[in-house]
Amino acid sequence: MSRLAMTLSQTAKQTDGSRHPLFSVGLRSDPAEFAAFIRHADQLGFAGLWAQDTLNADNFSLDPLHQLSFAAAASERMRLGISVLFSGYRNPAVMARDLATIDQLSRGRLTVGLGVGNAYHRPRLEALGIATDRPALRLVEGIGVLRALWSQDEAEYRGEIYSFSGIRSQPKPVQQPGPPILIGARSEPALRRAANIADGWTGAAMIPHAQRAEELAILRDELARIGRDPATFAISVNVYAAVASDRQEACARAQNVLAAAYRKNPVYEAEGMAERVAVYGSAEECAAQLRQMAGEGIDEFVLHPLYDHFTQLERLAEVARLVNR
């Protein structure tokens, strides 16, 4: 069992059968407020900080690996996660060293999220000379390369795309045999693959609640089919959140932000997105929604405040306390 899965399962499941999930927050890609946001999240008691990888050139974003390197120095106890790195975008040998460096700088607090990315990114990557064929195989073999380089002094790996022996990689990560790897997946084959090869699953924030329930059901089914203890498989879900005493105001403000962020996205429908995917309303209403979701087997919520970020952080900390009281 990975350290992350053990921590999450022990924290989430209580002796009375109820679930007390961990609460983390998504990092802001705002250089002016980046350090202050980390410190505020730490002071409020959030369990972790998560960065996102994006290839969307229409929205300003900072590189997630550099964000987490900064966060490693600016925090002491919070776990640091990425949701998710696109596996084919970076060479896995280079990525192994980058991620091991962050794990060293954070003294063993890194969680790695990996995924294949959306198909609409591929023409842009191909134009830049980045191979995009066989994305699922690149993900699976990339994970094998990471684990080999992290855990073996002279690493060896044999695959269709990557094949090598006698390769030394430094530094090794603090966490051995390596940081926990969560896979971001949505299709049924990808979800079943995650249950077989990963330490857990990370759910995307733009997925409607009903679809997320279906994804969780597939994961539970596959874990049962292969005889894997669910306690060895961490489930972390990203959630857009807006807290306000007026529920309709919270929804409207969340929708304004999401509409601007997804207005040119060819996959996700921006219109009405807040109602489909976000948790919004008063602190009590948000807590009730998250408590219901936790009952579906979620170990960790990664909350993404959408506006008035510092005030919303404080309100979301109150939501977390209400869920786990």
Q: What is the pLDDT of residue 1?
A: 47
Q: What is the pLDDT of residue 4?
A: 55
* pLDDT tens per residue across span 47-64: 999 999 887 667 788 999
DSSP state, residue 33 = T
Percent of the chain with pLDDT over 90: 81
Alpha carbon 52 to its chain's center = 7
Q: What is the pLDDT of residue 15?
A: 42
Q: What is the pLDDT of residue 230?
A: 97
Mean pLDDT over all residues of the chain?
A: 92
* pLDDT tens per residue across span 136-174: 999 999 999 999 999 999 999 999 999 999 999 999 999
For residue 145, cis peptide bond before it (omega within 30 degrees of 0):
no
Can you give the residue range of the structural domain that contains 130? Answer: 3-324
Whether residue 13 has pLDDT greater than 70: no
- Centre a 10 Å sphere on the Cβ of residue 79 and count the other Cβ atoms it contains: 24
- DSSP string over 79-140: EEEEEEEETTTS-HHHHHHHHHHHHHHTTS-EEEEEE---GGGHHHHHHTT---SSHHHHHH
How many structural domains compose the chain? Answer: 1
Comparison of pLDDT for 254 and 123, the residue scoring more:
254
Q: What is the pLDDT of residue 300?
A: 98
Q: What is the pLDDT of residue 234?
A: 98
Whether residue 251 has pLDDT greater than 80: yes
For residue 171, cis peptide bond before it (omega within 30 degrees of 0):
yes
Percent of the chain with pLDDT over 70: 94
Cα–Cα distance list, 47 to 177, 301, 323 (Å): 23, 10, 14
Whether residue 2 has pLDDT greater than 90: no
Give the confidence band of 11 by pLDDT, cuts at 50, 70, 90: low
| Strand 300-305 to 22-26 pairing | parallel
Residue 191 and residue 222 in contact, taking contact as beta carbons nearer than 8 Å:
yes
Q: What is the pLDDT of residue 124?
A: 80
Could you tell me the two tokens for 121?
């990114």
Could you tell me the CATH number of the domain that includes residue 275? Answer: 3.20.20.30
* pLDDT tens per residue across span 78-134: 999 998 998 888 899 999 999 999 999 999 999 999 999 877 778 888 888 888 899
**What average pLDDT does the segment 22-35 reach?**
95
Cα–Cα distance list, 171 to 97, 107, 109, 151, 230 (Å): 7, 12, 15, 11, 31
Q: What is the pLDDT of residue 127?
A: 85
Predicted TM-score (pTM) of this structure:
0.94
